[in-house]
Chains A and B, each alone.
Chain A
Amino acid sequence: MYNNKIKYTEKEVWDILDTIPDPEVPAISIVELGVIRKVTLENNKVTVNITPTYSGCPASERFKADIKEFLTKAGIENIELIMQYSPAWTTNWLSDEAKEKLRIYGIAPPIDGTEDKGFLFESGPKVVPCVKCNSKNTEVISQFGSTACKALYKCNDCLEPFEYFKCI
């Protein structure tokens, strides 16, 4: 039956959300990814504000379904999800810990401060160290990888192809 008192604190709801893996990069949680912007507990309702990484990211549908599933399982029935587009998601919202997890998982994490300010040919070359051998002798193969948030790189020393989480 409907429970009109939520038995959790805001912090505990955050903790539940922190157990939901990112659908594309399960090494980090959706909280670590930075897509959960706000949790509000009001009367008997939990409201979660979500900011998707990319407009067309297919994972955002999964986020929504997973959040509902995990919160429902925890006994919260009245859930509202709000898609919040501003301020836009940025890779700066990834914690250092999350970046290290990405690297161990095999995805080169975004390099701080390399967000492109200009466009076209104004941006200087970025050095993305290889995730396997840490060599700086790497090159970009394509700005688009298996998902919009990643670019394809290749290490010229150990020849490992790898993905780089783009800075946006």
Chain B
Amino acid sequence: MNESLIKYLFRIGDSSLILGQRLAEWCSNGPTLEEDVALTNISLDNFGQARIIFSHIAELENNGKTEDDFAFRRNEREFYNALITERPNGHFGDTIARNFLFDAFQYHFYTELSNSKNKFLAGFAEKSLKEVKYHVRHSGEWVVRLGDGTEESKEKIQKSINDLWDFSGDMFLTDSNIDNLSKEGIAPDYSLIYNNWKKTVKEVLERATLVVPEDGYMQNGSLDGRHSEYLGHLLGDMQFLQRSYPNAKW
């Protein structure tokens, strides 16, 4: 029981951690001071969510490992984050498009997860949802501003959405582990989340005068720990210090 729950917890916590790390890369690089602050605030919320999940895993495992072990001492194949979270920041529009597709997912996912029979997950989702509301509003408003902006901004954000589309399907994939958890009422129904997500994405893209891309081949693999080439580089950066100087303290 614990083992399947722990794998599912990693799926949730890793997505937050990896997106948090990506957004931290914007620190001091934002296009304006306000955006620098916004993106790093969102990063911090995601790190906070990952920490809550990882601390809970440490309690469940109860073998001396801590949240830091999970963040800094796991290899690429042991990460189960949704593929879209590891996509590079690119230009500001790429970051906004990635965030929007993922934030909208997280919003609907946490909404459903707050009804989980697992008390920890329900409480975690209820809390995180309050934060994610602000995330999806931030990225959603930017999608509209860029889409309904200048000719150049429209063209760029449409291309960002199109390029990321193939990675969106992976967020909703389930395996027998997740399906069993859904049957027990611990994990939510992912087809319901997908429908709600699609509705939100459609609403925002239409408002932004953008086109909803057609579904084609969807990338997959994150549930088995298979990732794009970008995750290894991200981990190299994130884990370097703890790998080189184990147990170094801030």
Interface residues of A (CB under 8 A from B): 52, 54-58, 83, 85-90, 116, 119-121, 141-148, 152, 166, 168
Question: With the chains together, A89 CA to B123 CA distance in Å?
Answer: 11
Interfacial chain B residues near A54, Cβ < 8 Å: 44-45, 48, 131
Q: Contact: A144 with B126, CB < 8 Å? A: no
The 5 closest A-B pairs by CB, nearest first: A56-B48, A86-B123, A55-B48, A56-B44, A88-B127
A56 to chain B, nearest CB (A): 3
B residues in contact (CB < 8 Å) with A: 20, 34-35, 37-38, 41-49, 51-52, 55, 107, 119-120, 122-124, 126-128, 130-131, 133-134, 136-138, 140-141, 200, 203-204, 207
Cβ of B204 and Cβ of A85 under 8 Å apart?
Answer: no
On chain B, the residues within 8 Å of A142 by CB distance are 34-35, 37-38
**Can you report 12 A-B residue pairs in the complex whose CB atoms are below 8 A from each other?**
A54-B44, A55-B48, A58-B44, A85-B52, A86-B123, A116-B133, A120-B200, A121-B140, A142-B38, A148-B41, A152-B34, A168-B131
9 new A-B pairs (CB below 8 Å) besides A89-B127, A119-B133, A142-B34?
Answer: A55-B48, A55-B52, A55-B127, A87-B126, A88-B126, A88-B127, A120-B203, A144-B34, A144-B37
Cβ–Cβ contact B131 & A86, under 8 A: no
Given A86-B122, A88-B127, A143-B138, A148:B44 Cβ within 8 A: yes
| Distance, CA A87 to CA B127, complexed state (A) | 8
Residues on the A chain within 8 Å of B204, using CB: 120
* Nearest-neighbor residue (CB-CB) of B133 within chain A: A119
Chain A nearest CB, measured from B92 CB (Å): 15
Which listed residue, A56, A86, A88, A166, touches B45 by the CB 8 Å rule?
A56
**How near does chain B come to A161, taking the closest CB pair, in angstroms?**
11
Decide if A86 touches B48 in the complex (CB within 8 Å): no
A166: B residues at CB distance < 8 A: 134
Q: Which residue of A lies closest to B144 (CB)?
A: A121
Judging by beta carbons under 8 Å apart, are A148 and B126 in contact? no
Residues of B within 8 A of A86 (CB): 119, 122-124, 126-127
- CA distance in complex: A57, B51 (Å): 11
Query: Closest CB of chain B to A38's CB: distance in Å?
Result: 15
